[in-house]
Amino acid sequence: MNFLWVALGGALGSVLRYALGLRFPIMQGQWPWATFGINTLGCLLIGILWAYCERSATLSPVVRPLLMVGVLGGFTTFSAFGLESLLIWRHGQPAMALGYMIASMLGGLLLAAAGAAFVERWL
């Protein structure tokens, strides 16, 4: 049954990512704000969910596969991040490509930690 929850969550997360990509289209040679925002928001949310799941014995066993694997797995866009980094580099902007890669990875790590810390302190 968990496979069904992961599939449903993945579909929802993918549709949300697609909608945000349409709302904030990527322009060649510019910072890919939609993917950056999606990936960093996904990291914040997974930190919150992970910490909350660790503390709550009352959560349904469906929550992790549905939200963490499904929704956030479909929502975040690491493959798009890799391609955009390559395209920025090939567009002759290696400094922006490196900055985007570093900011995305450090931002994701910091936001996942912030989400977990928030739950651990306030919930």
Mean pLDDT of the chain: 92
Share of the chain above pLDDT 90, in %: 75
33 assigned to some structural domain: no
Whole-number pLDDT of residue 110: 97
Q: Is 40 annotated as a binding residue?
A: no
How many domains in the chain? 1
Q: Residue 105 sits in which domain range?
A: 43-53+61-123
| Mean pLDDT for the stretch of residues 65-90 | 92
Q: Is 58 annotated as a binding residue?
A: no
70 assigned to some structural domain: yes
Confidence of residue 104 (pLDDT cuts 50, 70, 90): very high
Q: Mind listing the pLDDT tens digit for each residue in 6-59?
A: 999 999 999 999 999 999 998 888 899 999 999 999 999 999 988 988 888 777
89 assigned to some structural domain: yes
Overall pTM > 0.75:
yes
Alpha-carbon radius of gyration of the chain = 16
20 assigned to some structural domain: no
